[in-house]
């Protein structure tokens, strides 16, 4: 399943498509080209400190055949482990190039990922596990742990990739929303289960009832957490169904992987508006009419003019 994530959020390089950096070149390309690699790691010729946008030299010699990881500066935070939601800044460059293919520093928008959730290339998954929050890490990733023979966007087939990654923060994510159960007494709206065992809540769409014309965003379980702002990135689990026939079209619980949505980049207006103002740790029912959903065009098997129904556990924010 997991059709929905690609429809909701503007894609970033590591998720699905290579996005060009705002800075396609290097300010010190000539100096970078002459700096020798040490131990298979291209030199950082400028911006070496944590938080600074780095400049990477072109790799020299034969690129490493296996993943290489080097801690440029070690932080004093907790070590990353599978299941952590992590926020990073990064710059990526091909080993044989002086120009980055992507970086988050120029966008001024850190990247959020859940380790072990398959959101990023394997070189990131393997290279970041065990690193401490607050660290700057350099990764040299062979093709087999990157984009392989097919390449991706500006990344050529069989490219060895070099990343400088600043680990900004990380959180362990709770298994379920928790809070005070809120009465679901409108018979014309879907009903959502109130279990807190980490399993998917039931989501029952009423039959022979016309869907609401306006967005519905109701608490099912109301927590005492912080209120979500548009600038937040939220970590969620959800079940999603069509109003018309109650058919499930997405379910993060079945994959065992949460989703992380930077709300500023969410393109599904009803999902974004339905979560803003709600409290972290809560479970929410969302009913999204077509004009705040996918509109009058079919998308990934979801029919045109569909009313979408979500049961969302808002597990954390970054």
DSSP secondary structure string for all residues of 219-247: EEEE---PBP-TT-EEEEEEEEEETTT--
String of b and e for 297-308 (b: at least 16 CB within 10 Å)?
eeeeebeeebbb
Query: pLDDT tier at 318 (50, 70, 90 boundaries)?
Result: confident
**CA-to-CA distance for 249 and 290, rounded, in angstroms?**
16
Query: pLDDT tier at 28 (50, 70, 90 boundaries)?
Result: very low
* Mean pLDDT of the region 70-90: 94
Position 13 scores a pLDDT of: 45
pLDDT at 221 over 60: yes
**CA-to-CA distance for 50 and 10, rounded, in angstroms?**
27
User: What percent of the chain clears pLDDT 70, i.e. is strictly above it?
Assistant: 89
Query: pLDDT tier at 300 (50, 70, 90 boundaries)?
Result: confident
Position 299 scores a pLDDT of: 86
Position 118 scores a pLDDT of: 78
Query: pLDDT tier at 88 (50, 70, 90 boundaries)?
Result: very high
Q: How many Cα neighbours within 13 Å face the side chain of 218? A: 16
Pick from 73-82, 94-103, 252-261: least confident: 252-261
pLDDT at 269 over 50: yes
| Alpha helices per DSSP H over the chain | 5-8, 29-34, 122-128, 252-255, 269-275
Query: pLDDT tier at 308 (50, 70, 90 boundaries)?
Result: very high
Position 3 scores a pLDDT of: 52
Name residues whose C-beta falls within 8 Å of residue 28's C-beta, 6 or more positions apart in sequence: 45, 46, 55
pLDDT at 15 over 70: no
Query: pLDDT tier at 256 (50, 70, 90 boundaries)?
Result: confident
Give the DSSP letter of residue 255: H
Compare 318 and 59 and report the one with higher pLDDT. Answer: 59
**CA-to-CA distance for 20 and 279, rounded, in angstroms?**
35
Which of 20-24, 30-34, 85-89, 200-204 tops mean pLDDT?
Answer: 200-204
* Mean pLDDT of the region 8-36: 45
pLDDT at 311 over 90: yes
**CA-to-CA distance for 152 and 18, rounded, in angstroms?**
6
Query: pLDDT tier at 5 (50, 70, 90 boundaries)?
Result: low
pLDDT at 20 over 80: no
Enter the pTM of the model. 0.73
Predicted confidence (pLDDT) per residue in 119-164, tens digit: 789 999 999 999 999 999 999 999 999 999 988 888 999 999 999 9
CA angle at 257 for the pair 108 and 116, rounded to the nearest 5°: 70
Position 289 scores a pLDDT of: 97
Q: How many Cα neighbours within 13 Å face the side chain of 92? A: 26
């Amino acid at each position: 399943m997991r059709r929905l994530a690609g429809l909701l959020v503007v894609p970033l390089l590591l998720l699905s498509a290579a996005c060009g950096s705002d800075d396609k070149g290097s300010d010190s390309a000539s100096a970078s080209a002459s700096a020798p690699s040490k131990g298979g790691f291209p030199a950082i010729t400028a911006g070496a400190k944590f938080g600074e946008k780095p400049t990477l030299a072109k790799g020299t010699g034969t690129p490493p055949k296996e993943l290489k990881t080097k801690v440029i500066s070690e932080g004093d935070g907790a070590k990353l482990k599978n299941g952590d939601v992590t926020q990073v800044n990064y710059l990526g460059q091909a080993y044989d190039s002086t120009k980055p293919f992507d970086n988050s520093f120029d966008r001024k928008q850190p990247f959020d990922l859940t380790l072990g959730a398959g959101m990023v290339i394997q070189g990131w998954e393997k290279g970041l596990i065990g690193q401490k929050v607050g660290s700057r890490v350099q990764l040299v990733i062979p093709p087999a742990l990157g984009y392989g023979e097919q390449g991706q966007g500006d990344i050529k087939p069989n490219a060895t990739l070099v990343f400088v990654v600043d680990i900004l923060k990380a959180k362990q994510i709770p298994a379920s929303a928790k809070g005070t159960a809120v009465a679901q007494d409108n018979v014309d709206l879907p009903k959502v289960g109130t279990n807190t065992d980490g399993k998917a809540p039931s989501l029952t769409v009423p039959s022979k009832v016309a869907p609401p014309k306006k967005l519905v965003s109701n608490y099912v379980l109301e927590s005492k957490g912080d209120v979500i702002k548009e600038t937040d990135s939220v970590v969620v689990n959800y079940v999603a169904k069509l109003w018309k026939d109650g058919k499930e079209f997405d379910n993060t619980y079945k994959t065992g992987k949460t989703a992380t949505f930077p709300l500023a980049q969410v393109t599904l207006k009803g999902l974004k508006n339905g979560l803003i103002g709600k409290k972290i740790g809560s479970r929410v029912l969302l009913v999204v009419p077509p004009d705040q959903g996918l509109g009058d065009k079919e998308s990934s098997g979801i029919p045109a003019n569909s009313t979408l129904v979500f049961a969302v556990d808002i597990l954390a924010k970054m």
